[in-house]
Amino acid sequence: MSSAELRLDVKSLEKVLNATVMKLDPVSKKATEELCKAIYEESLRLVPKDTGTLASSAYYTVLGNFKTGFVGYIGYGGNGNRFNPKSRRRASEYMIVVHEDLSAQHKNGQAKFLEIPVRRFQGKAAEEIAKIIGGELN
């Protein structure tokens, strides 16, 4: 009869796990930022650009931490929320109408300029973030 014995050094394992968890905070934030940036950039390709005011008001930011989770915010009406030179209205005053009006004809861009990229990335967000994290940890 033969047997084998496996001894696990729990202290060493704990050190490795703690070091990995410490790396996850900045890596998870970076992954969330990269995903937000991809959505933001696609949205900028779709946003109507009559005067450029709405496009210049686009922004994204990531808040939170590894314990509570990271949340990405992507929107319009930020970056100083400038006045449109034609309408003399701030971007935040008309962005929802431009986004939602499916009947409006734009020379360039389209309605749902933020919703479309969000929906496109929504189904693969977790997979994309996991890929980024995996690449960073290797």
Q: What is the pLDDT of residues 106-133, one digit of tens each?
A: 999 999 999 999 999 888 877 877 887 7
How many CB atoms lie under 10 A from the CB of residue 103? 5
19 Cβ partners below 8 Å, 6+ apart?
none
What are the extents of the domains in the chain? 12-137
Give me the numbers of helices (H) and strands (E) for the chain, helices first please: 5, 2
pLDDT at 29 over 90: no
Tokens read off for 20: 């990995």
Q: Mean of the pLDDT values across residues 86-112?
A: 95
Nearest to 33 by CA among 68, 79, 74, 67: 74
What's the per-residue H, E or C state across 30-94?
HHHHHHHHHHHHHHHHHCCCCCCHHHHCCEEEEEEECCCEEEEEEECCCCCCCECCCCCCEHHHH
Q: Mean of the pLDDT values across residues 88-94?
A: 95
Q: What is the pLDDT of residues 38-85, one digit of tens each?
A: 999 999 999 999 999 999 999 999 999 877 888 999 999 998 899 999
How many CB atoms lie under 10 A from the CB of residue 50? 16
More confidently predicted of 100 and 25: 100
- pLDDT confidence of residue 1: 67
- pLDDT confidence of residue 58: 97
- pLDDT confidence of residue 125: 79
- pLDDT confidence of residue 9: 77
